[in-house]
Structures are given as structure tokens and as C-alpha cells.
């Protein structure tokens, strides 16, 4: 994969955890199997110190969000579309005592170049493969299997995409950067993300708080349950008691407010 990425001006993707190959990895496509997913989340919860499979599922999607970063970075900066079928993606397994920041590899590293015709239609194809055919099935499956709100899981994806365009590509001179970001948050139709009428990313985009220049999340991602402090962007900072949401692991007020 390394040579193909270099040849296609995509070597920068290694910054976002894409590697030619991964060690001690698993195939993401197996997670759509309920029995495999349950066993996987039990092991992940034990390894990372999560109190439940529900928390582990949220943390998994936070880590998996980098597949969306990788895909849209390649689309925006190089007009390339990666093969993101679930069966094509390998991720590193978690190890006890280590922060789980998994590397990602693609079994088939080939890329599809934009052919110079209608880029808007081509971009929709990138979105459909990434969101509707890759991320959506996992989110739906995790919500049903582990009872974790899809609102939390979609925001876990959204915050990293906002970071990509507002931080990583903020000063980019590439003319696609602003156009692609606007499309993501305002124009993309719901059906590009799965069985939706409305774009599930839009609701999470809001003005940043001044002067801290941070965007408060709409939902809590449960990272604090790994024994760390609440994120500075966590909405539960204002509705929590003794560091724990009033509703425990039920859907908290922050989530209900956007349903």
C-alpha cells in the first residue's frame, strides 16, 4: 500500500493512522456478525477498562472515526476514493495497559480517481460508500446490540470530521476544502448516510464557545468511564453530579435534547 499511496500523493494519510499493514489485527467486516461483535466488545471492555460493552462500543466508534477522516482527506486533497468495504478494513487490536489508538490498513489499497466530470455526483459516491455502506451498518448494529444511542455514535464521527476541516485543512489552499466542508454540514442528503431523510451530521455543527473556541458536544461519549476526567467539550459538565450523569448509563438529558 505504501507505494500506491505515495504514487497517488496520499502518503499524508499515515498521519491519520493508515498503514500498509497492521499487526495483531481483526477484520472490521466481522463486527456485523452479532456473536462476533458481542465477544469482541466484551474483550475490548476488559482490555481498555470500560465498565460495559455499551461504553466499549462508543469508544470503538471514536477510534473508528479515523476511517472517515482518512476517506474525506483523500477525497478533498487528492480527489481519490478509497475502497472502504467493511471486509477490506483491518484494525489493530487493543492491548492491556496501553492507550488504544489503533492503526488501520486496507487489504485492497487501490484508489479510484475523480474522472474530471461532475464532481458533486462523484463526491456523493464517496459519501455513500463511506457512510451508508460502511459506518451506518455498524452504528445501527451497535445501537441494537449494545443499547448505545446512535446519536452518540454519529457525534463521535462528526467531531473528528469537524476537526479535519476546521483544524487540519483550515489553512489549505485546496479549493475543495471549503466546498467539501459545506457539503458535509449543510448540503449532503440524508440517504447518503444510510436510511435517513435528514443528514445526521448537521445537528452537531454549532458555533464554538467564546473565548475558549471549543464546540460543546450534544452528547456524552462515555470516555470518562475509563477513569479519566470529563472531556472539556462534554455537555454533562453542566448537568452532572459528582462526575456522573444523573441518569447513569441511560440516555442522559444531553441526548434527549436532540431527539
Tens-digit pLDDT profile for residues 8-30: 556 889 999 999 889 899 999 99
Q: Pick from 150, 152, 167, 149: which is nearest to 218 by CA? A: 152
Q: What is the 3-state secondary structure (H, E, C) of the chain?
A: CHHHHHHCCCHHHHHHCECCCCCCEEEHHHHHCHHHHHHHHHHHHHHHCCCCHHHHHHHHHHHHHHHHHHHHHHHHHHCEEECCCHHHEEEECCCCCCCCCCCEEECCCCEEECCCCCHHHHHHHHHHHHHHHHHHHHHHHHHHHHCCCHHHHHHHHHHHHHHHHHHHCCCCCCCHHHHHHHHHHHHCCHHHCCCCCCCCCHHHCCCCECCCCECCCCCCCCHHHHCCCCCCCCHHHHCEECCEECCCCCCCHHHHCCC
Q: Note the CATH number of domain 2-222.
A: 1.10.510
Collect all residues with Cβ–Cβ distance below 8 Å to 99 and sequence separation of at least 6.
Answer: none
Sorting pLDDT into bands at 50, 70 and 90, what band is 249? very low
The predicted model gives 176-184 an average pLDDT of: 97
Query: What per-residue confidence (pLDDT) applies to 124?
Result: 98
Reported pTM: 0.89
Does the pLDDT of residue 259 top 80, yes or no?
no
pLDDT-derived band at 247 (thresholds 50, 70, 90) equals very low
CA distance 230 to 238: 11
* pLDDT value, residue 234: 83
How far are the Cα atoms of 11, 23, 69 from residue 8, in angstroms, in the given order? 8, 24, 17
At 190, the pLDDT band (50, 70, 90 cuts) reads: very high
Q: Considering only residues 212 and 85, tell me which one the structure prediction assigns the higher pLDDT.
A: 85
Residue ranges covered by each domain of the chain: 2-222
Mean pLDDT of the chain: 89
What pLDDT score was predicted for residue 136?
A: 98
Q: What does the pLDDT read at residue 252?
A: 56
Confidence bin at 258 (pLDDT 50/70/90): low
**Is residue 243 pLDDT above 60, yes or no?**
no
What are the residues facing 244 on neighbouring strands?
241
- Tens digit of pLDDT for each residue in 129-143? 999 999 999 999 999
pLDDT at residue 248 greater than cutoff 50:
no
pLDDT at 105: 94
Q: Provide the angle, in degrees to the nearest 10, between the axes of the packed helices 136-146 and 53-78.
A: 170
Residue-level length of the chain: 259
The whole-number pLDDT of residue 41 equals: 98
Amino acid at each position: 500500500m505504501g507505494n500506491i499511496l505515495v504514487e497517488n500523493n496520499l502518503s499524508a494519510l499515515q498521519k491519520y493512522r493508515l498503514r500498509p499493514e497492521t499487526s495483531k489485527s481483526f477484520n472490521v467486516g466481522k463486527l456485523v456478525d452479532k456473536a462476533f461483535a458481542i465477544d469482541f466488545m466484551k474483550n475490548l471492555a476488559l482490555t481498555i477498562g470500560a465498565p460495559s460493552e455499551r461504553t466499549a462500543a462508543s469508544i470503538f466508534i471514536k477510534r473508528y472515526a479515523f476511517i472517515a477522516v482518512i476517506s474525506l482527506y483523500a477525497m478533498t486533497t487528492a480527489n481519490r476514493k478509497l475502497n472502504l468495504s467493511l471486509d477490506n478494513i483491518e484494525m489493530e487490536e487493543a492491548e492491556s495497559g496501553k492507550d488504544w489508538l489503533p492503526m488501520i490498513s486496507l487489504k485492497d489499497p487501490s484508489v479510484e480517481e475523480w474522472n474530471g466530470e461532475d464532481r458533486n455526483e462523484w463526491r456523493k459516491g464517496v459519501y455513500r460508500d463511506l457512510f451508508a455502506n460502511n459506518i451506518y451498518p455498524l452504528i445501527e448494529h451497535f445501537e441494537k446490540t449494545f443499547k448505545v444511542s446512535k446519536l452518540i455514535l454519529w457525534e463521535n464521527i462528526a467531531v473528528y470530521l469537524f476537526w479535519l476541516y476546521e483544524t487540519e485543512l483550515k489553512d489549505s489552499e485546496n479549493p475543495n476544502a471549503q466546498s467539501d466542508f459545506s457539503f458535509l454540514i449543510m448540503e449532503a442528503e440524508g440517504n447518503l448516510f444510510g436510511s435517513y431523510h435528514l443528514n445526521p451530521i448537521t445537528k452537531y455543527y454549532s458555533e464554538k464557545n467564546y473565548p475558549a473556541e471549543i464546540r460543546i458536544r450534544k452528547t456524552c461519549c462515555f470516555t470518562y468511564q475509563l477513569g479519566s476526567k470529563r472531556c472539556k467539550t462534554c455537555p454533562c459538565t453542566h448537568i452532572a453530579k459528582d462526575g456522573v450523569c444523573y441518569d447513569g448509563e441511560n440516555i442522559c438529558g444531553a441526548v434527549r435534547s436532540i431527539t
